[in-house]
Amino acid sequence: MTLDFLRGFSFFTGVPDSQLKALCNWLYDQYGISQCHIIAANEGNAVALAAGYHLATGETPVVYLQNSGLGNIVNPVASLLNGKVYGIPCLFLVGWRGEPGIHDEPQHRFQGEITMGLLEQMEIPYFILEKDTALEEVQLKLEAYQALFRQGKQAAFVVRKGALDYEAQDKFMGAVVGRYANRIAGGRFALNGREYTLARNDGPNHLHGGNVGYSHRVWTVEEAGADRAVLTLDSPDGEEGYPGHLQARVTYALEGSTLSIHYEAVSDRDTPCNLTNHSYFNLSGQGSGDVLAHKVQLFCSAYTPAGETSIPLGAIDPVEGTPMDLRVPTPIGAHIDEPFQQLVWGHGYDHNFVVDGQPGALRPAARVYSEATGVGMDVETDSPGMQFYTANFVEEGRKGKGGAVYGFRHGFCLETQHFPDTPNQPGFPSATLKAGERYDQTTRFRFFLLEG
């Protein structure tokens, strides 16, 4: 086995040479790559040596770039970019000299921040290998990344836009939506004896918080780290027609292969509140086409049928005996075009499913996987419902990040949530956030590799 799947992948190392040697020895044992470890101080030497070695032997060298001065800020980036451009299959261990403590100095932290920013702009994946990182953790990460390259190409699993394109887009890709995710019939609801009018931004209905919902606001970064980010938003009383001054807080935390999203909010008046994440996933890699071959399993025995404009009809129906029954792994495309009225009106799946189990308790909601890459995703939530949406309204030719092109059914969403139109549906679990109380909801996405 070669290390082609690691082409363009980088580490930032602040580790002793002994740990680096142990990592290289493990790579040799695991993948049979050569013990040729090229140590170079600039990208020209590194790429030249790596290319020559690869052409002569057909094997994958390990290149360790030692950069300890501010004058070499761009060298790691240039080396990685050259490796991608020239197609040289190298494992780049990018960092600075291995003397203990040197990377705690301000100039090296500054250099690292600049380098990581440039890597992100060029969409070169990386992670930070600290001096106390266990070798076993590195091994697990490498094995996980191998799945991205089973088809000989780099893959990203979230269909996405650029950093501040959230403000301009209309498909909510990757965004937190609110104040009320999903639809509210007729753009109106009554609360505490008063009627409130909202924007009708989805035909006759209100969708995802209105014309300038939370998805189109720039949130404040309260905390940002390697595995945790906290965003906050201040939503004034009357914004988009909603009552109450609401303060929202969303925490993203990465632990191993699990991403958790924790939503919190408080309001000084009673208000509907329903926050979710609207990421579109394609586990075969963004830009790889439709997701109809993905297999989906929903831990949902019931759903809320909707009318022609996607507003629930008020019933909670069993999925059994219908194309909505996805309780066992089923290709997304297996029934999506059947002449079942719910699928006809939704142009595919765009429905709220009732998650089995007790709302408020974290429990399984979905499992989806791609046999093409061997990558799977489990979803857990404490929300009562989940919208399963198959990108039925994403037009062909929509451009995404990194030049990827998206189209009809090129992704799927699993939006954990309160039920749609709950403010007008007394039979649904309440979505009213009482003044002074705390909105608290968690969703976890765990990624895994299929066995075999």
Mean pLDDT of the chain: 77
* Beta strands 37-40 and 62-66, pairing class: parallel
Look up residue 52 and give its amino acid: G
Contact between residue 446 and residue 397 where contact means Cβ atoms under 8 Å apart: no
Contact between residue 370 and residue 283 where contact means Cβ atoms under 8 Å apart: yes
* Mean pLDDT (whole number) for 234-240: 97
pLDDT-derived band at 28 (thresholds 50, 70, 90) equals: low
Q: What is the pTM of this model?
A: 0.69
Looking at residue 227, what is its pLDDT? 83
- The pLDDT tens digits for 238-283 are 999 999 999 999 999 988 889 999 999 999 999 999 999 999 899 8
Residue ranges matching CATH 3.40.50 in the chain = 4-149
Looking at residue 218, what is its pLDDT? 85
pLDDT at 337 over 90: yes
d(CA 396, CA 408): 6
Residue ranges matching CATH 2.70.98.10 in the chain = 159-449
* Beta strands 295-298 and 363-370, pairing class: antiparallel
d(CA 395, CA 407): 5
Q: Per mean pLDDT, which of 15-19, 62-66, 158-162, 335-339 is the most reliable? A: 335-339
* Mean pLDDT (whole number) for 33-55: 52
Secondary-structure class of domain 159-449 per CATH: mainly beta
| Phi/psi at 235 (5° precision) | -115, 110
Comparison of pLDDT for 141 and 331, the residue scoring more: 331
- Catalytic residues, by residue number, are 278, 415
pLDDT-derived band at 388 (thresholds 50, 70, 90) equals: very high
Whether the bond between 179 and the residue before it is cis, its omega within 30 degrees of 0, is yes
Task: Enter the DSSP assignment of 80.
Answer: H
Looking at residue 175, what is its pLDDT? 85
pLDDT at 79 over 70: no
Q: Per mean pLDDT, which of 8-22, 47-61, 215-229 is the most reliable? A: 215-229
Q: Give which of 275, 268, 212, 211 is closest to 249, Cα–Cα.
A: 275
Q: Which two tokens stand for residue 247?
A: 């303060």
Q: What would you report as the CA-atom Rg of the chain, rounded to the nearest whole angstrom? A: 24
Q: Per mean pLDDT, which of 16-20, 98-102, 107-111, 397-401 is the most reliable? A: 397-401
* Mean pLDDT (whole number) for 384-393: 95
* Mean pLDDT (whole number) for 207-227: 89
* Rounded to 5°, angle at Cα 133 from 132 and 138: 160
| Alpha helices in 58-134, H assignment, sequence order | 75-86, 106-121
pLDDT-derived band at 96 (thresholds 50, 70, 90) equals: very low
d(CA 214, CA 439): 16
Contact between residue 266 and residue 243 where contact means Cβ atoms under 8 Å apart: no
* Mean pLDDT (whole number) for 361-370: 97
d(CA 95, CA 60): 19
d(CA 210, CA 201): 6
- The helix (H) or strand (E) run that includes residue 47 is helix 43-57
d(CA 251, CA 114): 24
- How large a percentage of the chain has pLDDT more than 90? 50
Looking at residue 161, what is its pLDDT? 41
CATH topology for 4-149 is Rossmann fold (3.40.50)
